[in-house]
Homo-oligomer: A and B are copies of this chain.
Amino acid sequence: MNHDILKERQNATFDVEKLTNILDGGPEKTKRRREIESMVLSDPDFKEEDPNFLSRSERYEQAVRKSAQMILKLREYGIADPEEIICYKSCVHPGRPEPLDLHLGMFLPTLLNQATPEQMDRFFMPAWNLEIIGTYAQTEMGHGTHLRGLETTATYDPATQQFVLNSPTVSSIKWWPGGLGKTSNHAIVLAQLHTQGNCHGLHAFIVPIRDMNTHDPLPGIVVGDIGPKFGFSEVDNGFLKMDNVRIPRENMLMKYAKVEPDGTYVKPPSAKLTYGTMVFIRSMIVGESARALAKSTTIAIRYSAVRHQSEIRTGEPEPQILDYQTQQYKLFPLLATAYAFTFVGQYMNQTYHRITGDINQGNFSELPELHALSAGLKAFTTWTANAAIEVCRMSCGGHGYSRSSALPDIYVEFTPTCTYEGENTVMMLQTARYLVKSYRQAKAGQQLSGIVSYLNETEHRRIQAQPASARPTVVDINDLASLVEVYKLRAATLVDLAAKSIQQELQNRKSQEDAWNNSAIDLVRASDAHCHYVVVKLFTEKLGEIGDTAIHSVLSTLALLYTLHGITENSGDFLLAGLLNVPQILQISLRIKELLSQLRPNAVALVDAFDIHDKKLKSVLGRYDGNVYENMFEWARRSPLNSSEVHDSFHKYLKPLRSKL
Contact = CB atoms under 8 A, between A and B. Distances in A.
B228 A589 contact: no
Given A463-B582, A467-B470, A312 B514 contact: yes
Interface in A564-587: 568, 570-576, 578, 581-583, 585-586
A520 B226 contact: no
Interface string A23-57: 00000000000000000000000000000110111
A143 interface: yes
Interface in A38-89: 52-53, 55-57, 60-61, 64-65, 67-68, 71-72, 75
A589 B522 contact: yes
Interface stretch (A156-164, A280-288, A292-300, A399-407): A399-407
Interface in A200-243: 214-217, 224-232, 236, 239
Nearest to A213: B655
A183 interface: yes
Interface stretch (A248-256, A360-368, A416-424, A436-444): A416-424
Contacts of A65: 649, 652-653
- Chain A, interface size category, equals 35 or more
A343 interface: no
Interface string A532-545: 00000000000000
27 contacts: A56-B640, A57-B640, A60-B641, A61-B652, A64-B649, A64-B653, A71-B657, A130-B654, A131-B658, A141-B632, A144-B309, A146-B318, A170-B629, A215-B651, A216-B646, A227-B635, A227-B639, A230-B402, A311-B513, A312-B514, A325-B519, A394-B415, A397-B423, A465-B581, A571-B572, A571-B576, A572-B585
B72 A657 contact: yes
Contact of A420 (B139, B398, B402, B517): B398
A661 interface: yes
Judged by DSSP, the binding face of A is helix
A11 interface: no
Interface in A411-436: 411-412, 415-416, 418-420, 423-426, 429
A289 to B, nearest CB: 15
Nearest to A635: B227
Contacts of A173: 633
3 shortest interchain CB distances as A-B pairs: A467-B467, A571-B572, A227-B639
A619 to B, nearest CB: 13
B57 A641 contact: yes
Given A225-B636, A401-B230, A661-B71, A215 B650 contact: yes
A435 to B, nearest CB: 16
A133 B397 contact: no
Given A149-B310, A658-B130, A642 B225 contact: yes
A456 to B, nearest CB: 24
A13 to B, nearest CB: 22
Nearest to A637: B224
